[in-house]
Chain A
Amino acid sequence: KEWKEIRIGVEGAYPPFSKTEEDGSITGFDIDIANALCAELEAKCTLVKQDWDGIIPALLGRKFDAIIATMDITEERQKKVAFTKKYQHIPARFVAIKGVAYEATEAFMEGKKIGVQRATTMDLYISDNFPSAKIKRYGSADEAYLDLKADRLDYVMADSAAIADGLLAKDGGDKFEFVGPKLNDPKWFGYGAGIAIRKQDKDLVEQLNKAIDAIRADGTYKTIQDKYFTFDVYGQE
């Protein structure tokens, strides 16, 4: 089947990957990638903004045909949707107020308040590894940062790049720092972020895989990456 028109679901509250501007438009790394891929496929693309915890149901419900929202490829998700190959891979990390101790043991984390975005890989990771911690689930990462600033949380866990941009680079961000190592255990975090697609649409997966290779090859990817990051967000091939 030809894909002349593709509707792409994006989040809009996860800088620098996607972010809603004051005028209501959406910008960010994911958005630029989406547009580059569409240009490569010569398809007409529409971006549809959707809150994170409804984003997979919305794809299944055919609100859009693909999700480009820094979604990690995990086994759990693969039960529901198909993924393209990864288009980026950024480890998750904890962030806390400067000087707060951190140990990745269950005993240490007991009773600690950890904020995550609902339905993310981080959500699962903490639920599985630190069941005795007080896990607080938010609709968006921004809300979790607000509560971290307000001292309602001890830690927030999110994509390291998202934390860097959405929290550390903002006013007052100098009070916070990453704690603990980069986390990228495939058991929870999968194999990088891919584009999620309904399982039936295998042809679209193939076409997008080709397109990803194409923009990697022709340098478009690097241009976009450099706009937002000073490091390689793709990781190993």
Chain B
Amino acid sequence: MTVPTLSIRNLHKSFADNQVLKGIDLEAHKGDVISILGASGSGKSTLLRCVNLLETPTSGDILVNGELIKMKSDKKRGAIPESNKQVERIRSRLAMVFQSFNLWSHLSVLENVIEAPVHVLGVPKKEAIVKAEALLQRVGLYERKDYYPGQLSGGQQQRVAIARALAVEPEVMLFDEPTSALDPELVGEVLAVMRDLAKEGRTMLVVTHEMAFARDVSNKVLFLHQGLVEEQGKPEDIFTNPSSERFKQFISTVY
């Protein structure tokens, strides 16, 4: 068996007294598209944010391409990463697409896309621009490359955010509800781009409320409930034949 691109083992996370994640295991191999479902507050965002250490896990291991992110204990904050260098390197391999896009508002579309390649990965600027233009072409925003984020619609901004993520050629792309801040008319354009990425064989972890996407595009679905994985499996299995009562109830309310 090949080394999994991402593996999460027995992950716990608490905020003060609030235990949000109580032992999550997850493995993503190259080409996997994993959808993470769950009610609001069930810890989906927290899980995703732990993967690239935007939140520090309370305990548990995270391995990217078999490399363990080393942690050490800290008086004030419990556990902290042992080496910031390692964390920064790993983060640059995991690209995150945020619910609220978080494009850098002081940079133009093109500058947003080349920022991380040039200033984190050290790609020569010229090269980065050529590639960025191709990516913008791909998400259909080449013409807008000199616009600023504030001048774009939400759907356009999210597509730029996806181009920005692709520009670092990530091992895994992390999506946190990429369409839920969008007006219904704009959701389609972003989902279309994501479908394309899945077809291409990108490894993706997608927190979403879009059942259609989870069912049709992903090859694995995880349902979080009260900090644990309540149900998981191939979408064709678990949607038609859910074993957990909670999950049944969840899909019935969402549909």
Q: Do chains A and B touch in the complex (CB under 8 A)?
A: no
**Residues in B lying within 8 Å of A, measured CB to CB:** none
**Residues in A lying within 8 Å of B, measured CB to CB:** none
